[in-house]
Amino acid sequence: MRCLRVLIVNQKGGTGKTTLSVNLSSGFNQRGATVLLDADPQGSASHWAKISRDATDLAPIERVAAGAVQDRLKNLSATHRYVLIDCPPHLDSDLLRQVLSQVDLVLIPIQPSPLDLWASIGMAALVHEAHISHPQLRAYLVLNQIDQRNALSRSLHEALASFELPVLNNGLTRRAAFRNAALEGCSVYRLGNRAASAVNDIEAIIEEVLNL
Ligand SMILES: Nc1ncnc2c1ncn2[C@@H]1O[C@H](COP(=O)(O)OP(=O)(O)O)[C@@H](O)[C@H]1O
Ligand SMILES: [Mg+2]
């Protein structure tokens, strides 16, 4: 059984790494044994899981120092179907390069605003370099906090096209459900009907990456 190792990274803070990590890992956990490595010293994903006393819908979350991610990956990939890694912002570039050589898929959440795009160009270039030396590595930008009322502007499409990395077809819309899940210490799956659209966002991303 092969393990899919997914790194969720952006050296910029607040782009949705933890939101994406926690909800995706919950969806993956419904498909096969999953663990989420929380490599952020701030421990946001771990705090998320502690809010609810009965977080049965969340995948197990394990805190790990960024420098220890590679070792944990080796062990966990033998016993798990999916391992996700929620990265800290300001992750050291050398460490990032090392981890990139050990994962299968990189997801870079990014907000569709010029400031966020500019802030992520350097890191996307680093991921692209890693892809050249490890062609089996797949890497995608994932749009987050998409405004459901407005289509992406043409200038934004042009800015996205200037990245050397492709954009996943599916992204996350800005929805209260994503904030509420964090407030309640659960995933959007647990929120029932009021989060159906948010669940659809997450499921669409999972199905897209499983079919890459
Ligand atoms: N799709 C979304 N819709 C609504 N709020 C979101 C969405 N994605 C992230 N957020 C909110 O944005 C903030 C930053 O997200 P977070 O996942 O903590 O980013 P990061 O881990 O990259 O720092 C949080 O308050 C989170 O609840
Ligand atoms: Mg985070």
- In CATH, the number for domain 4-210 is 3.40.50.300
Let me know: does 20 contact 143? Beta carbons within 8 Å. no
> Model confidence over 150-168: pLDDT tens digits?
777 888 888 898 889 999 9
CA-based Rg of the chain, rounded to a whole angstrom?
A: 16
Q: Please state the domain extents for the chain.
A: 4-210
Do the strands 61-63 and 34-38 form a parallel or antiparallel pair, or are they unpaired?
parallel
The whole-number pLDDT of residue 150 equals 77
CA dihedral 186, 81, 69, 160 (to 10 degrees): -70
Between the CA of 134 and the centroid of ligand 1 the distance, in Å, is 30
Q: Is the pLDDT of residue 149 over 90?
A: no
Closest listed residue to residue 36, CA positions, set 199, 192, 187: 187
Q: Which of 179, 183, 200 to mutate to test the pocket of ligand 1 (most atoms within 8 A of CB)?
A: 179
Digit-coded pLDDT (tens) for 43-99: 999 999 999 877 789 999 999 999 999 999 999 999 999 999 999 998 999 999 999
In this predicted model, what pLDDT tens digit does every residue of 93-148 receive, in sequence order? 999 999 999 999 999 999 988 888 888 988 899 999 999 999 999 999 999 999 88
Q: Cα separation of 181 and 170, whole Å?
A: 20
Q: How far apart are CA 65 and CA 87, in angstroms?
A: 10
Predicted TM-score of the model (pTM):
0.97
- Amino acid 158: pLDDT: 86
- Single-letter residue type at 154: R
- Given a contact cutoff of 8 angstroms between Cβ atoms, the answer to whether 38 and 61 are in contact is yes
Any residues with Cβ below 6 Å from ligand 1, and which? Answer: 13-19, 44, 144-145, 172, 174-175, 178-179, 182
Q: Among candidates 170, 173, 169, which has minimal Cα distance to 197?
A: 173
